[in-house]
Structure 1
Amino acid sequence: MANQYFENNEKLESEIREISYYFKGVKISFFADNGVFSKSGIDFGSNLLLKTISLDGAKNILDVGCGYGTIGVTLAKLNSDVNVSMVDVNLRAIGLCNRAIEKNGLTNALVFESNVYENVIDKYDLIVSNPPIRAGKSVVHSIILGAYDYLVDGGSMWCVIQKKQGAESAKKVLKELYKCVEVKEKDKGYEIIKATK
């Protein structure tokens, strides 16, 4: 599987384009490129997750597998009282995410390189992810289960997974670890799952 968005391929030709995303009446700017997830625009799953998520007083948020920043940048832009950290393994995505942080004038967001939680040190009130399904079940499960160790007690992990791409198995493994697992929304085969520590 060459040139996948969950890999780091710096040899791909670059064709950066700006994307304008309007969410809750606010314009948010992103930059997409070859070799990143959903380069043509904001994907349905991320949009559904953003429409569904409830921060419940969270002040420190981590977006795992952030891509060019759709979820993390949006949460930071709409909630100036929170601090959002974003991680990705794809250096091109990280560069695009940094451009989005700058373009949107955010002082409460940062992005850094990490293969899942490899370089994550802190604990968070909320961890969010639109996991890279094409990377395989083991990677997806390492994101959603690994979140547990980086959540404060009572913190929650939110993710979006399509039913046909493993939502049932994800819920099953989550229920073995987390105190409470809920499906907060379903639409067009996508499920928004919240797991509370």
Structure 2
Amino acid sequence: MTDHYYTHSPQAKRDPRVIQVAVRDIELQLQTDNGVFSKAGLDEATRRLLEQVWLPSDAFVLDLGCGYGPVTAVLGKVYPDSRWVLVDVNERALELAALNTAMFGERCQTICSDGIPPDLVEVFTDVILNPPIRAGKAVVYRLFEDAHRALQMGGRLWVVIQKKHGAPSAYAELENRFSEVETVYRKSGYFVFLAKKLT
């Protein structure tokens, strides 16, 4: 069976490396490896998402499908009073995410799960998601529903998706689940959606 970045236990031979990430006036060295998403560097969708997200200073954020942790690593520095939960189904990615966010200490915790655990209900101010497109539309839409459950009232889901990967249908699905949805970024086929839970 071929490994994917959403494989629970990747069998790909380890080949650890360090990459440079520079975004939001933050420069970091992050550890990556075979068997994780975008191992060679920060992917363009995540970069555009990071450039658009704004958070309350004391945000409690779920980094959903965190991979090796670039979103938390960057935004945890931009917002030094924020707290984070990182979730991914990929054990190897989650190990790397823990290493890449270790500087934040108790501000971060990691959970290995295929989606948001059901006991997390109305706890987060924000959920940030670059969805696992290759896992299929049903999985992506389930993550939307998970995010709605886990957000506080007034909480927000940030999603990046390309037009060729189904941005219009994803927007319609978000409208079915959230009180308000807006497109906060649209360029070169990339969209960043902001969905708010108000009722």
TM-score (norm 1): 0.93
Q: Does 1:138 align with 2:151?
A: no
Other structure's SS at 1:174 match: helix
Alignment correspondent of 2:104: 106
Question: Per the alignment, in what secondary structure is the counterpart of residue 152 of structure 1?
Answer: strand
* Cα deviation digits, residues 131-159 of structure 1 (max 9, x gap): 11000001111112221100000100001
List gaps (5 residues or longer) in structure 2.
Answer: none
Hey, what does 1:121 align to over in structure 2? 120
Amino acid at match of 2:175: K
Moved more, 27-36 or 153-162: 27-36
Alpha-carbon distance between aligned partners in 1 of 2:44 and 2:58, rounded to the nearest angstrom: 24
Identify which range, 86-95 or 144-153, moves more after superposition.
144-153
1:112 corresponds to which letter in structure 2?
A: I
The answer (yes or no) to whether the contact 1:62–1:127 under 8 Å persists in 2 is: yes
Work out whether residues 127 and 158 of structure 1, in 8 Å CA contact, stay in contact via their aligned partners in 2.
yes
Q: Can you list the C-alpha shifts for 1:1-54, whole angstroms capped at 9, x where unaligned?
A: 621001123421000111121223322221111110001100000000010111
Asked if structure 1 preserves the Cα contact closer than 8 Å seen for 2:17 and 2:33, the reply is yes
**Runs ≥4 residues deviating over 6 A:** none
1:45-84 mapped onto 2 (5 Å cutoff): 45-57=45-57, 59-84=59-84
What runs of 5+ residues in structure 1 fail to find an aligned partner?
Answer: none
In structure 2, the partner of 1:28 is 28
Shift of 1:121: 2.2
SS of the residue corresponding to residue 131 of structure 2 reads coil
SS in structure 2 of the partner of residue 106 of structure 1? helix
Contact residue 3 and residue 11 of structure 2 kept, 8 A: no
* C-alpha RMSD over aligned residues: 1.5
- Map 1:171-182 onto structure 2 (within 5 A): 171-182=171-182
Count, aligned residues: 195
Amino acid at match of 1:121: L
Distance 1:86 1:9 in 2: 17
Identity of aligned residues (%): 33
